[in-house]
Amino acid sequence: MKILVTGAAGFIGSGVARELANRGHNIVAADMFLDRLYSNEPKFVNWEQLSDVAHIEKVVVDLRGDLDALPDDYDVIVNAAAMPGLMTSWSEFDTYMTCNIKLVENLISHRVSEKTHFLQFSTSSVYGTTATGDEKSECLPTSPYGVTKLAAEELIGAYHRTHGLQHTILRLFSVFGPGQRPDMAYHKLIKAISAGEEFVVFGDGLQSRTNTFVDDCVGIISTIAESRATNEVFNISGSESVTLNDAIAAIEREVGKTALLKHAPARKGDQRTTSGATEKVRAAFEFAPATSFGEGIRKQIEWQLAT
């Protein structure tokens, strides 16, 4: 198949582009290298590594604007491009709106044909403060980021109902592992603990996540993209619930240093509990995360301290 992967220089998008190419598909990898949340340096590394993979054509293009630089006629579009981050979305709303909504509309309007299947990366943030139910749970986002990602889902639904757009929506839960973005909590924790720097804990540290190891995430996304699962929503999540305090203790043990912690009030809009219900994706694709939190965080620490 011919597959467009957007956000292909990013943490998850680069892995999906590589995995699908290794499975024999012809990949157009696109990224616009937006650097509003963190430096582009990690993206440049990911982008360069894609040059060594057969069946990948790379294109740098602002996906919110003119898409003439992109080839057309895709079997599948995997849209990993987005502006992530809950807290920044309160002050950078225009960027989130254009990257998370306008970009989706632009891709659908200009690069989707009758045969194209559109696979959208969404997030557990659409559920709100507590994300513990299945895909039919009510969506009550508590941040502009979550609102824009839910709006993208609704936009895709409108195109489906009106124009017959074939699509799949994947709600990802807290992806971690080697290559994790530098703005994410575990990356910041590992950096702070290993360097003896202060780390701010917002709230009581009992906020919990079912983290998804990146290789497990990339594998199931690639399988679902190949399947072209029609008009479905799937939670993609690990199975172990880990509090922030648990994660701090695990990283301390692996690094061999004690964290220097500063406590601050909980941030408005932050999620309290995520525990992805994955019965649906397990039944459809036999998805079973292979990497435990302990093994995954050890691999992330090894990668991060080596870079």
Catalytic residues: 145
Spatial neighbors of 30 by CB under 8 A, at least 6 apart, are 4, 5, 6, 7, 8, 58, 59, 60, 61, 63, 70, 81
The partner residues of 30 in beta bridges, in order of sequence, read 6, 59
Q: Give, in order, the Cα–Cα distances in Å from 232 to each of 136, 152, 219, 260, 279.
A: 11, 15, 18, 44, 14
Q: What is residue 264's three-state secondary structure?
A: strand
Long-range contact set of residues 147-154: C-beta below 8 Å, sequence gap at least 24: 148/83, 148/89, 148/96, 148/97, 148/100, 148/101, 149/82, 149/100, 149/122, 149/123, 149/125, 150/122, 150/126, 151/100, 151/101, 152/100, 152/101, 152/104, 152/120, 152/122, 153/120, 153/122, 153/126, 153/233
* The two three-digit tokens of residue 161, written as one number: 């109902």
Tell me the DSSP string of 24-43: T-EEEEEE----SSS-SHHH
What is the DSSP track for 52-81? TSTTEEEEE--TTS--TTS----SEEEE--
